[in-house]
Amino acid sequence: MADRLTLEQRRLNMSRIRAKNTAPEWTVRRLLHSRGFRYQLHRADLPGKPDIVLPRFRTAVFVHGCFWHGHACSLFRTPATRTEFWLAKIALNRQRDATAVSLLKELGWRSLLIWECALKGRGRLPESQLAQKVTAFLNSDAMFDEIAEKRISPTAEEIL
């Protein structure tokens, strides 16, 4: 059966698989846990199925891979082959992300995006700084924020 899938279809299927429990996600979980924040994982009943949810803070945390979610940062490379296919796919992901954030907001949930580049690569933040940013958001009234690598931090408008 699988053999009958064309290469094209197989690529498409693979790209639909949403990565769960990725290394960046573990980093964020460890950080939250070590600071006494309690969370739930992959709440399917919330828009966008957030990676991490902190019910006490009514906050959804998304740990976004910079390629898949089209982040303009040092980790992003425009694919050299099948460029249009990937860019269309990434554009769709971005649209989906924006929809999730706005639906969550309507439900009174806050969203925090943590980009992969804040966790790995040359622009990554020291853990203490990351923790400080996360804690500051949780203790604020902000409905939305994002944490990215040191150099570039796109505005919320660019994301939404």
The contact set with Zn ion (CB under 5 A) reads 66, 71, 73, 75, 115, 117
**Distance in angstroms (rounded) separating the CA atoms of residues 42 and 29:** 12
- In angstroms, what CA-CA distances link 50 with 2, 73, 77, 83? 31, 22, 25, 28
Of the two residues 60 and 75, which places its CB atom closer to Zn ion in the complex? Answer: 75
CB of 148 to Zn ion, least distance (A): 5
- Judged by beta carbon, residue 28 or residue 66, the one nearer Zn ion is 66
CB of 44 to Zn ion, least distance (A): 26
User: Minimal distance in Å, beta carbon 76 to Zn ion?
Assistant: 6
In single-letter form, the type of residue at position 15 comes to: S
Is 33 in contact with 61 (CB distance < 8 Å)? no
Q: What is the smallest separation between the CB atom of 121 and Zn ion, expressed in angstroms?
A: 8
Closest CB to Zn ion among residues 61, 73: 73
**Strand 110-115 to 59-64 pairing:** parallel
Could you tell me if 69 and 94 are in contact, meaning their C-beta atoms sit under 8 angstroms apart? yes
Q: Give the residue with the Cβ less far from Zn ion, 57 or 97.
A: 97
Q: How many CB atoms lie within 10 A of CB 85?
A: 14
